[in-house]
Amino acid sequence: MIREIVQVGDPVLRETCKPVTRFDKELWTLLDDMRETLKAAEGAGLAAPQVGVPVRAVQVDVEEGFFELINPVLVSQKGEQTGPEGCLSVRGKAGTVTRPDKVKVVFSDRNGNRCSLVARGFFARAVCHELDHLDGILYTDKASNVHDVED
Ligand code: CO
């Protein structure tokens, strides 16, 4: 089911999200709905608080594939990249953000198995953006020049 994407100004986007403790049907429904919502919005990533659920779960959909990260932890980062960014919760805006160029993240999959991944370039940017959402941080907090764009 497609869920409504919460927009900036809603306090849920500023919450420190709670860890996922149960890898059950309720989580899977949330994740399935998030994936459908992300696809419909044609976004590169979505975090659970963006559908109003402040738990530590994100998805990214990039060239490298579709990834679902539960309780993700950034364990290492290298280099730097500066580029454009937007957010499904900040419609009609874009800005320039500096992010690490390469990151390693440890996370659980939807069944609770601990996994890790290494992301580079835009993939790394998307992962960092989504992880920030779990701590109530929006890209606009870090962007140098937030400006209007056509949706
Ligand atoms: Co976002």
pLDDT in tens, 6-57: 999 999 999 999 999 999 999 999 999 999 999 999 999 999 999 999 999 9
- What fold characterizes domain 11-148? Peptide Deformylase (3.90.45)
Output the CA 86–ligand 1 centroid distance in Å.
7
Domain definitions of the chain by residue range: 11-148
Reported in sequence order, the residue ranges of the chain that DSSP labels E, i.e. its strands, are 45-47, 57-62, 65-78, 81-87, 90-99, 102-108, 114-120, 147-148
pLDDT the model gives residue 48: 99
Q: Is the pLDDT of residue 150 over 90?
A: no
Does the pTM exceed 0.85? yes
Write the DSSP symbol of residue 44: S
Indicate left, alpha or beta for 71 from its phi (over 0: left) and psi (-120 to 50: alpha).
left
Q: How many CB atoms lie within 10 A of CB 16?
A: 11
Q: What is the mean pLDDT of residues 109-133?
A: 98
Tell how far the Cα of 88 is from the centroid of ligand 1, in angstroms: 6
Q: What is the pLDDT of residues 83-102, one digit of tens each?
A: 999 999 999 999 999 999 99
Sheet containing strand 114-120, strands side by side: 45-47, 57-62, 65-78, 102-108, 114-120
Tell me the pLDDT band of 151, cut-offs 50, 70 and 90: low
CA of 131 to the centre of ligand 1 (A): 9
Reply yes or no on whether 64 is catalytic: no
